[in-house]
A and B are shown apart, each in its own frame.
Chain A
């Protein structure tokens, strides 16, 4: 156990936000889901008792007859905003007094940093470079993430859970988002920051960064495993495999989308366009963990090899 190395990584000034993220993301996930489960219990109670549902104010927050449903912004909101501004200022001040922003040596194009890392919020993308070529990990995937986020409101036909925390009424969307945000985005940032060392090699926390370490990994392309050597053969084979993945992933996703009676009810509300767009983004999102597993378990580099691009 090399505690010094661990400390060097954790205390690197630009890594402090990730250390913060390690605490803040689980906390807020718990904080949000706790309210979701509280609301779910109320939903179960109201569904069981239609008479109560008619009279209940339908929130977990307390409410009594005669209370006004609104309060004045001044002072009830503005005092909180004022307090929040003060607290943020104090936190930022203390942080800035105790920890200095990093400044390395002057830029030197002839001296490559090893590891040379992107800013922490792009480390998920940099980590993706291990599994995909730059055009995919650096350009196509980020663009698809942005577009995929933008289309969320337009492909979610579920009218429930608008303006309150709930898990029960939106299981599919909540699990998908948590998978995308926490499992794919945040955890890949954490891996890129805390685990990847020189040569972008995997160093478990506590092991020493060995700059002379070599890993002999024989990554093969999928067509080579099957003994396909011709250029045209590889193109066709890759297209078939990717097509097959698409079909299998689509079927799997369809199974999930129509799993429960409630899911089917929501599915019935979807237009064809909504369904196709949703499937497209789900299939592409799922391709990332699939490619990670293919690499880690079977040492596969490319699935689809063509003269123009490789996937």
Chain B
């Protein structure tokens, strides 16, 4: 029986009636094997089909939402229907994709910011913002944590790179006059982001709790005590009742010297508050780039003779 049974996936019709108890059992097993083989063949067929044309599967369709073929329509949809890419327009000024206009500084700044968030989050796993262990955590990170040194180096150099790139981005935007109508407000947001970038870098400087960071932050925050009106050593500060224990520097450091409270405050500003603020402003910044008409150029040159009279308010 077995040799005739199930070879083509269908059990022989008379098999069940012919045999005794043994025969009936064997034919049941046979039917089962035959069924399994049929399922296997079917599964292989389905798998082959899915591999051959994955875009036809329901899973694929559910993730990507639209068809992706070689048509202009789906190229546009590919950008517009993607959460990460939808900040882009579907089409862009043909000259804007060349490097020489934008220098790519804005986009690269954002990319470096992402790498900083990534490496920074990993660093947070190994760091305690406490005067007792902060410095030791850095030593531990550099000597014992796998790739810890690389992680810290990338975070440090990435921060420097971000500051340089932000400044160059601003330089480019100025040189191309991209802050002009209708992008005035986005320039303001950009200046705020520049300030937040510097503050992010500055608050991070203290965290290793070494001499370099300690004295840099001491020098930096000593300026705050000279704040006019709000600092105890600033113009009109003493007259308004400012002392080292209630002025703006005290608020920044959580004390009158750079100590454990200052470390904790720097940590929270650096890891929580400023990143949230900066991210919020970045959202606005990118959104406004789109809403203000996309990338500013390279635009057609305007001649002096074409200046229109300004509108009266």
Contact = CB atoms under 8 A, between A and B. Distances in A.
B302 interface: yes
B76 A169 contact: no
Interface residues of A, number: 106
Interface stretch (B6-14, B22-30, B44-52, B202-210): B202-210
Given A92-B157, A161-B177, A135 B227 contact: yes
Interface string B224-235: 111110010111
Contacts of B177: 160-164, 166, 170
With most chain A CB atoms within 10 A of its CB, the pick from B187, B223, B224, B305 is B223
Contact of A88 (B90, B108, B194, B236): B108
A148 B159 CA distance: 25
Contacts, number: 302
Nearest to B206: A107
A92 B154 contact: yes
B219 A126 contact: yes
A109 B258 contact: yes
A191 interface: no
A134 B225 CA distance: 9
A165 B214 CA distance: 43
A103 B134 CA distance: 12
A81 B107 contact: yes
Contact of B215 (A116, A133, A163, A165): A116
A161 B302 CA distance: 7
Chain B's interface size range is 35 or more
Contact of A59 (B172, B227, B296, B298): B298
Given A116-B219, A160-B307, A139 B188 contact: no
State the majority secondary structure of interface residues on B. helix
Contacts of A134: 222-223, 225-226, 233-234
Interface in B267-313: 296-305, 307-308, 310
A35 B301 contact: no
Interface string A26-44: 0011011101100100110
Contacts of A308: 235-236, 239
With most chain B CB atoms within 10 A of its CB, the pick from A21, A74, A81 is A74
Given A95-B157, A160-B307, A74 B231 contact: no
A114 B262 CA distance: 22
A99 B185 CA distance: 39
B218 interface: yes
Nearest to A89: B115
A177 interface: yes
B92 A35 contact: no
B21 to A, nearest CB: 68
